[in-house]
């Protein structure tokens, strides 16, 4: 634009030169007139040309500015599209990873009936795919309604030791009682939830109930996210509820399996374990004791004169005695690791892990006295029975399963031969009879 003056200036100079030539070749008056006319014409033409050029330059500058602005807008739009594309690409990858994880959970539920493994897997999914920094899975005991932490992510040992939740109190108790999910965003629009949130012992961002057949069996609780989640958490709420449904299904399948397994492993009359289950547990106990260099003991017992008792009072009374004797064993306050089983007929057998012979003798005496002190109300009046017991210990008495059982059986035989209603320990002479 700064060079636009050059065109008319050069034109003016050219006109003056032309006029001078004409002036030299013609008479003065005519030459002067020609020069003036040419100069005026040239100046006019130059002015028009200058004005036109200015307008053209201004228009060109405006077009250039518009072009630059459009270019800038296009570049900004491109960056936005690029960012959106990258975000979509990232989201697609997240969704793909999530779908693979959900398929793995579904496959695990179909293949495994050990729901604790599935709970641990779900905690990992909640962390990686929902972005939970701290989360926990709570399970409700069907009998006592006690709420306990079964699995947790991002918790310290102190967190687990101090974790408490009460039915109907706080967010976890509210969700259990109402059977509805909770999230911190929706709760802000509900004034009634303010007191529930305030009274919570455990913080909750998302709390999803695990519902099986209309019954709440647990809670999936997310206490904290890895980031601020500024864009909202509704996607995470939906995913948490979906995971809760999968866990609930897993618990349902596991409980059905446990019920079936319990039925198969439990004697129908005495509600003690079956002979088959005892054999399996004895194999496991031998392997465990061999691995850790530990000991354990067996107590084999039967009811004294049971055949005579059964013949005298009938099979119904006999069954009652069997049930009541088993009840004495179960109510004797034995350690939870102890296996109580019906060995066959009126015989019972007990596995005592981590128990040497002297300790096993004390347990056997305790069982004998418990049965001896028990009286049964029947149509024939109050009846009482006694038991005899034989004790063998691994590995002192035997290291083979069959021999260990035979050693206890020989000790039981000596208890009966010695007058019944007593405890006898396996001795080396019993080993000779077993060989």
Please say whether the beta carbons of 86 and 222 come within 8 A.
no
Active site residue 346: yes
Neighbouring C-beta atoms of residue 89, cutoff 10 Å: 10
Nearest to 216 by CA among 160, 258, 168, 159: 168
- Diameter over CA atoms, the chain: 172
Nearest to 355 by CA among 406, 294, 403: 294
Go through 162-194 and write b for each residue having 16 or more CB atoms within 10 A of its CB, e for each that does not. Answer: ebebeeebbbbbbbbeeeebbbbeebeeeeebe
Q: In the sheet that 296-303 helps form, which strands lie side by side, from edge to edge?
A: 339-344, 347-353, 296-303, 387-394, 423-425
Nearest to 351 by CA among 392, 411, 304, 398: 392
Nearest to 416 by CA among 298, 329, 300, 304: 304
- The active-site residue out of 346, 359, 372, 406 is 346
Distance, CA of 422 to CA of 84 (rounded, Å): 84
| DSSP single-letter state for residue 273 | B
Tokens representing 374 are 């028990």
Catalytic positions: 346
């Amino acid at each position: 634009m700064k060079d636009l003056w050059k065109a008319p200036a050069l034109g003016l100079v050219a006109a003056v030169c032309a006029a001078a030539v004409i002036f030299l070749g013609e008479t003065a008056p005519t030459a002067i007139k020609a020069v003036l006319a040419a100069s005026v014409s040239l100046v006019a033409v130059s002015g028009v040309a200058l004005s036109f050029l200015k307008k053209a330059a201004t228009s060109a500058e405006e077009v250039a500015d518009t072009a630059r602005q459009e270019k800038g807008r296009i570049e900004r739009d491109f960056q936005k599209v690029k960012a959106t594309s990258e975000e979509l690409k990232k989201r697609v990858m997240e969704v793909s990873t999530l779908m693979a994880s959900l398929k793995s959970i579904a496959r695990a539920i179909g293949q495994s009936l050990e729901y604790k493994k599935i709970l641990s897997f779900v905690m990992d999914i909640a962390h990686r795919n929902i972005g939970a920094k701290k989360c926990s899975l709570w399970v409700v005991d069907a009998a006592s309604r006690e709420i306990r932490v079964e699995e947790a992510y991002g918790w310290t040992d102190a967190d687990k030791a101090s974790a408490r939740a009460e039915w109907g109190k706080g967010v976890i108790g509210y969700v259990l009682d109402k059977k509805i999910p909770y999230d911190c965003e929706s709760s802000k629009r509900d004034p009634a939830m303010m007191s529930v949130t305030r009274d919570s012992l455990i913080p909750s961002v998302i709390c999803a109930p695990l519902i099986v057949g209309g019954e709440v069996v647990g809670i999936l609780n997310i206490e904290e996210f890895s980031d601020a989640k500024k864009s909202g958490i509704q996607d995470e709420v939906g995913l948490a509820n979906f995971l809760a449904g999968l866990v609930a299904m897993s618990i349902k399948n596991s409980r059905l399996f446990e019920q079936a397994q319990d039925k198969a492993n439990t004697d129908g009359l005495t509600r003690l374990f079956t002979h088959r289950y005892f054999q399996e547990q004895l194999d496991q106990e031998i392997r465990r004791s061999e691995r850790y260099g530990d000991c354990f003991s067996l107590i084999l017992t039967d009811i004294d004169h049971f055949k005579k008792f059964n013949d005298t009072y009938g099979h119904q009374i006999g069954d009652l005695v069997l049930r009541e004797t088993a009840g004495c064993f179960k109510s004797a306050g034995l350690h939870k690791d102890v296996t109580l089983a019906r060995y066959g007929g009126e015989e019972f057998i007990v596995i005592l892990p981590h128990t040497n012979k002297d300790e096993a003798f004390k347990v056997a005496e305790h069982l004998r006295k418990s049965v001896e002190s028990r009286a049964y109300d029947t149509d024939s009046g109050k009846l009482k029975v006694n038991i005899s017991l034989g004790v063998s210990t691994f590995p002192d008495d035997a290291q083979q399963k069959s021999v260990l059982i035979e050693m206890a059986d020989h000790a039981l035989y000596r208890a009966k031969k010695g007058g019944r209603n007593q405890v006898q320990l396996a001795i080396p002479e019993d080993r000779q009879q077993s060989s």
